[in-house]
Every structure is written in C-alpha cells, then in structure tokens.
Amino acid sequence: MAALALGTGAILDAVLSGCATSRPNERPSPSKTQPETSAYPPLAGKKIQPPENGCLVGLHRYNYSHDTGQIIDSYQKELDNKPAFFTLAMVDFSYFPQYEMAGIATKGVIPNVLHDYSASLQDIAKGSHDVTLTTLAKEAKKYGEQHGGFFYTPMPELNGNWRPWARQPNAAKGACQHAWQIFEDNGANQYATWVWEVYCPEGAKGGAEDPQNYYPGDKYVDWIGLSAYSRTQFYNGNMSYNELTRRTYIEMHNNHLNKPIMQAEFGKTQGSDQPYWLKNAYKTIKSRPGMKAALYWDQHDRELNDNLYLSKESFEVIKEIFKDPYFIGAK
C-alpha cells in the first residue's frame, strides 16, 4: 500500500492541494485488469483531492468508546499500515464529531463523516434547522482550520427505500442544497469535501430508486459515493462486487465526468468465500479509472444481523492487496 504521508509527503500533497487538471476522456473498462488514468479538475480550498493515479483505501469499524485512534492502531497492526481515510457514522444530526475526527487526523488519516439528517427534509430546506446546521458548519470550519480537509457525507444511501428520506428526491435535494449553502456561508466548505452517496440498485432488488433522481447538482457535489453489499442471507449474497456495482459505476462515470467516484461503503458477509470475494473486488476497483477511493465496512450490521467483519484470512488477503502501490494508505 503506497504511503500517504501527512504534511510533507508528495502523495498527500497531491491529494490535498490538487493534482488533476483535465476531465477523463475514456469510458470505463471494468473488464481490464490494468487501470487507465482519469484526471479531474482540482477542488477549491483544502478539500480532499482525488489522486491522479491510484485509489485511496479506507476502512470503517464502529467503536462504542469513540477512541478512533485505537481503531486506527489496530488496523496498522493487522495490515502493517493505516488506511488513507476512516468513516464515522453519525446518527445524531445535531452533533459534529470533532473529538473523534481529531483522533483520526492525529494518526495521519482523513475522516469521513456520515451524517444522518434525521429531521424532516422539508423543514431543513425551509430553514427550520438553520441554528443546528450553522453550529455544525462553524464546528466543521474549526476542525478544518486545525486539521485540514475531510470528507462529509450527508444522508448516505440517498436513494435507499429503507432510509428515512426514501422516495423524497426533491426534498432530499433541497435539504442537501440548503445545508451546503450554510456550510458555504460559514466558511466550512474550504475543508468539507461533499460526498453524494447512493446505493447501487443492482444489489437492492427494487429497494433502491434511480440514483440520478437524487442528484442535487454539480455545485453541491465534490465526490460521488457508491454503496453496495453482498449479504449471504439475502438474494444478492452470491453476487460479485462487479455485478453489484458495474452498471451504477458506468452510469456515474459517464454522466458526471468531472466527479471522482469512491466506493464509500462495501462489504461481504463473513465466510469461507469472503477472502476470494475481496480479492476480486479490489481487482475490479483497480480496473476502474474513475474509482479514486474505496472503503470496506468492517463491522457487524446489527439491524440486519449481518457479520461483515473481516476474517483472519481476509485480513491476510487485504494485507497482500494493499502492498500494491496503486492502493494508497496513510503513513
């Protein structure tokens, strides 16, 4: 796994300051094993820039103690390195996790904040929650001034019918646009890198709507995020990563040429087939020129009773995969 050295490292300098200057001019070729290069216009401020070559690797594991630094240390022990970014899943709409993010940043890792906007989307768009959003924006700016850029994902899996904002594309777009504007007015968007995350309908069996219906506009999106899981107890349990994501990836890559794509969430139910599934998943990720980041969801999904934890064998597979310099981690 290539090092992403904070502060002085050449790779991180490119990620944080911007190294891409042109739009991708190739259509995706998921079947290829060698990646093409997709370059993107640099993002303004101190947002997280997509690497010109390679893919940032991320991991997520929930910890009730909120000691995110401890989790990062455990990954370093397992993988001989640290992920480039780490996701914090926040269910409290009013809380900005500065403490937890600082614990991640001090380890040289970029935080990704998933924020569930649990209030009425119409009320958010109308301004009924502006006091809360303004507080979030001010705290986001304060964090950015101390630690730099971070990923920010409001309302993850926007098109998922199981989400509280299900079947409300216009309201969801309005809420996202309004929240973005408050962050902008308070200077937080110098650092907050906005991720528009949708679920790949290929693996949802009708449980996810057309992602494009939820797109708020280029102004409000820095990265496009995809979510997909292969869960053994459901019909998609035998689907490969490529089968779960291919159509949505191609659609996003072709329709939004200026937007880097991240696999913001993906996972496979633990079992004897998990290591092989992961090996093929990362091979597919490497073959996609627009896929600039990928994060594995390493936890037990309590709601679905689905164990996505990486097995010992899977850790060994990922450890070997991440030796490839194409996959960029932290140092």
- Per residue in 132-144, pLDDT tens? 999 999 999 999 9
> In this predicted structure, what is the pLDDT of residue 105?
96
> In this predicted structure, what is the pLDDT of residue 2?
59
What is the reported pTM? 0.89
- Per residue in 179-229, pLDDT tens? 999 999 999 999 999 999 999 999 887 789 999 999 999 999 999 999 999
Residue 3 has pLDDT above 90, yes or no: no
62 pLDDT tier (thresholds 50, 70, 90): confident
* Angle between helices 169-185 and 130-147 in degrees, nearest 10: 50
153 DSSP assignment: E
Q: Which residue ranges make up each domain of the chain?
A: 10-328
> In this predicted structure, what is the pLDDT of residue 235?
77
Which DSSP helix (H) or strand (E) runs through 276? helix 274-287
Assigned CATH class of 10-328: alpha beta
66 pLDDT tier (thresholds 50, 70, 90): low
> In this predicted structure, what is the pLDDT of residue 205?
75
* 300-301 vs 306-307, strand pairing mode: antiparallel
64 against 119, higher pLDDT: 119
203 DSSP assignment: G
Q: Which residue has the tokens 């997909």?
A: 228
Look over the chain and give the mean of its residue pLDDT values, rounded to a whole number.
89
Q: Is 127 left (phi over 0), alpha (psi -120 to 50) or beta?
A: left
Q: CB count, 10 Å around CB of 278?
A: 23
Q: What is the 3-state secondary structure (H, E, C) of 50-95?
A: CCCCCEEEEEECCCCCCCHHHHHHHHHHHHCCECCEEEEEECCCCC
> In this predicted structure, what is the pLDDT of residue 121?
93
For residues 317 and 134, what is the distance between their CA atoms, to the nearest angstrom?
Answer: 44
Residue 152 has pLDDT above 50, yes or no: yes
**pLDDT-above-90 percentage for the chain:** 75
Of 57-71, 92-106, 262-276, give the range with the top mean pLDDT: 262-276
Residue 18 has pLDDT above 80, yes or no: no
For residues 36 and 3, what is the distance between their CA atoms, to the nearest angstrom?
Answer: 21
Beta bridge partners of 112: 87, 151
Find the DSSP H helices in 106-230: 121-126, 130-147, 169-185
For residues 285 and 241, what is the distance between their CA atoms, to the nearest angstrom?
Answer: 9
What integer is the mean pLDDT of 219-245?
94
